[in-house]
Amino acid sequence: NNTPQWGWLGLILIVLFSLVLYLSVAPGCKRIGKFDVPGWFKQGDIVIGGIFPVYNREVVSIFNYEKKPTSVNCDRFDLRAFRWTQMMIFAIEEINKDPTILLNVTLGYRILDSCSSPTNTLRAALTLVGGQEENNSTCFPAVSAIVAEAESSQSIAVASTVGPFQVPIVSYFSTCACLSDRTKYPTFFRTVPSDYYQAKALAALVKRFGWKWIGALQADNDYGRNGIQAFTYSVDKTLRVLEMIKKSTVKVILAFTAEGDFYPLMKEVVKQNITGIQWIASEAWITSSRLSTPEMFQAFGGALGFVMPKMAVPNLKPFLTSISPHADSGAVFVRTFWEIIMGCTPHLSGENSTSSLDGMCTGDETLSDSQDPFFDVTELRVSYNVYNAIYAIAHALHRVVFCKSVGEKAEGPCMNVSQIEPKQVTAQLQRVHFVNTFGDSIFFDENGDPPASYEVINWQLRDGEVHHVSLGHFASAVNGDYKLSILEEEIVWRTGKNIPTSVCSEVCPVGTRKAQIKGKPICCFECIPCAEGSIANMTGAVDCVPCPVKFWSSDKKDECIPKTVEYLTYNEPMGIVITVLSLLGASLCLITMVIFIKNNQTPVIKASNAQLSCFLLLSLVLCFLSPLTFIVTPTVWTCMLRHTAFGLTFAVCISCVLGKTIVVVLAFKATTPGSKVARQFGPKQQRIIVCACTFIQVVIIILWLTLNPPYPDMVFQHSTKKILLECNTGSEAAFYAVLSYIGFLAVICLVLAFIARKLPDNFNEAKFITFSLLIFCAVWISFIPAYVSSPGKFTTAVETFAILSSAFGLFICIFAPKCYIILIKPERNTKRLVAKH
């Protein structure tokens, strides 16, 4: 997806050029220009091609601060890649000796050098596919499969070129995930896991140690990114990378790059003494012997990375020690290898030595006792991938030649080996599934990839040498999960034994949340305290969690604490005042009742209708006691009691006042000559009026309790830290109906009392009733807005004070003057004086 438009155009041109070349050289092995590609050939019934970076590019004077490097030469012999070629030859010879795989069919090989260059790799691939001649007399057979290549860029060049011809390519070290695209590379297979899995492993490693702020260094080629572009060194780019590393605050850097591309940068990092960084390596360079030196360890010690699992191939060592330029004088690779290992130039007949070495070999030299790491076959990784690639191709060829899998009984070949076409080998490669000599299962998925498995490698310095210590593994499971196992206590970090930290911002403490900083990476953030009512009870929280409705956040915003349940109680000042006033009012009413009973024969008591007055005092006692039901814990029963008791007692009270008022009015009528009304309105009729008026209120209350009664309710909106426990009226219509009926009775009383206020003589009680009802109406008219606007328990307090105020108003206005005469001015308690008042 990152390949520019001209890259696709270049790819199309390469394919067209390949097609022309193939058509030109394949039929008669015609020569169209000489490709100067060093190689190694052995005849066989079926020939397998191999492309290896035996000679690598050597960058000269890259860090002389010129704009361009002086030169790039392909003259550095890579012992590691040379061992890969030997593993290919070893595996082919082993297969040729095995009668169970390709009976009576010998495999040959043709190995060419790529010089780690996509251009040279492309030339080598075209040479192998077309059977291109190297001199005027030799015509090599076309190969049935190709083992290639180490770097992803080279493999892309090969797969793009020979893919249209259905030639299978099996890579041993190309890990770019882009190569899993079957639409672009239909004939590509590999015995090394895709970088998709390595990326998963690296991500698991970074997550394991909590590194949030890391640098990422990628190669400017297809191993580091997807696309078909050759790598070219740039001094300016390298220096920019170094400056970025020095200025950055990251302490962990992931280097996803190939060995050859990373080596120049590593040398400059050591040169400029850039230390204190924990390096995370890709499999391409973590086990490289060229990079694993004490000099590099100064800056890269403790590096962690993933590699393919190692394997010991004991039988390979005798094969390697038997290498000799005298036995195979035509192999240019062997002569260079011999010069490096032995330090002398082999004398071969008919050749003039061009070696820069002064000494000539005697011919008696042997590799049997060599201690060079080249001969260590106990920890093979990439070489083991080459081994599996050759065996996979052999098993595919067996299925093509014998039409059966290895191990199944075959009567003989089902086709002539000369008729084998590459597309048949490709088809059978997709189907191979076998267990190799070492017990590993070899197969390819639908994308041509093997199962993923890695070892965790740590650079440790022991006895002056850098060792690649295996400390764990990472593997993919059948269900798609991934598992990372690592011995953390055995890791040697760049910081010693302490796990290095690398974060852009410190982890947010409890009680705070992350807030992204605009324009900065996601791991850079600010820590903002949680809002009221929400918490973050763990470090590094992304969001604050709201507390449940009955809870509130603590001061530190790290836990939810239960809200305080609040309601009107006896032990608070407001509850105490209400209780005292209630009991005081009830006591005064009872005392007055006793006074009225004891003095019921006095003129004052007789003039005020003693029976109805006592009944009024009893109802006032209940009115004074009803606020006590408002200062207990709201429950279903207390809520129903407080509202019904209040409504019922006041209905009785006002009904009694109404009865007294009617008596006053009718008493005036009795003074009119011929009037019989007063005689017909005696105590019985008064009780009927009180009971009838009260009955209507009883009916309203019964309907209220039946249809939608009051109930305890938790109110949250008035306070953030408190739960207000109060009684919900249930049906507001019923509640206001109760109040309205009491108000209706009070208005009737007020009108009648106002009419009778100027009646003569002993009927002037109407004045006190009028004043009491004015107070009553004023209290309850002001109660409504105060009730609606008061929050929480203050609503309850407003209602109780309204009850007490109106009750005290009735009691004081109606009974205080009479008690005053009875107790303080008994001399005025006569018929003559009472009549005057």
349 — pLDDT class (breaks 50, 70, 90):
low
pLDDT value, residue 333? 84
Segment 459-486 mean pLDDT = 85
Q: Residue 764 above 70 pLDDT? A: no
Provide the whole-model pTM: 0.58
Q: For residue range 522-553, list pLDDT tens digits in order.
A: 878 899 999 988 999 888 888 999 998 888 88
Q: Residue 495: pLDDT above 80?
A: no
Contact 456, 287 (CB under 8 A): no
306 - beta bridge partners? 456
Alpha-carbon distances of 825 from 599, 601, 828, rounded to whole Å: 14, 16, 6
SS (H, E, C) 494-518: CCECCCCCCCCCCCCCCCEEEEECC
pLDDT at 385: 95
Examine the pLDDT at 191 and tell me if it is beyond 90: yes
> For 198-228, how does the pLDDT look when each residue is reduced to its tens digit (9 = 90+)?
888 888 888 888 887 888 887 766 555 542 2
Say if residues 400 and 420 touch (Cβ distance below 8 Å).
yes
pLDDT bin (cut points 50, 70, 90) of residue 127 is confident
Q: Taking a C-beta distance cutoff of 8 angstroms, is the pair 419, 401 a contact?
A: no
CB-CB contact of 656 with 619 (8 Å): yes
What count of other Cβ atoms lies within 10 Å of the Cβ of residue 25?
Answer: 21
Query: Which bin fits 493, alpha (ψ -120 to 50), beta or left (φ > 0)?
Result: beta
333, 54 Cβ separation under 8 angstroms: yes
Structural domains of the chain, with CATH: 5-193+380-443 (3.40.50.2300), 196-307+452-490 (3.40.50.2300), 512-562 (no CATH), 573-836 (1.20.1070.10)
Contact by Cβ (8 Å): 759, 664: yes
pLDDT digit string, tens, across residues 294-327:
999 989 999 999 988 889 999 999 999 999 887 7
State both tokens at 116: 């780690």
Q: What is the pLDDT of residue 483?
A: 85
What is the SS3 assignment for 6? helix
Q: What is the pLDDT of residue 66?
A: 44
Q: Name the more confident of 648 and 601.
A: 648
Contacts 24+ apart (CB under 8 A), 559-566: 559/535, 560/535, 563/716, 563/721, 563/722, 563/723, 564/721, 564/722, 564/723, 565/714, 565/722, 565/723, 565/725, 566/719, 566/722, 566/723, 566/724, 566/725, 566/792, 566/793
Look at residue 682 in the predicted model and tell me its pLDDT. 64
What is the tens place of the pLDDT at every residue in 263-284?
Answer: 888 888 898 888 888 999 988 8
Amino acid 834: pLDDT: 52
CA atoms within 13 A on the CB side of 635: 5
> Which pLDDT does position 26 carry in this prediction?
41
Cα 589 from Cα 656, distance rounded (Å)? 15
Closest CA to 769 of 802, 811, 819: 811
- Please determine, for residue 1, whether its predicted confidence score (pLDDT) is greater than 50: no
How does pLDDT run across 557-567, given as a tens digit for each residue? 989 999 888 88
Q: How confident is the prediction for the chain on average, in pLDDT?
A: 81
pLDDT tens, position by position, 66-125: 444 444 467 788 899 999 999 999 999 999 999 889 888 999 999 999 988 888 888 899
Residue 326 burial by Cβ neighbours in a 10 Å radius (0-12, 13-18, 19+): middle
Distances (CA, A) of 700 to 707, 799, 804: 11, 20, 23
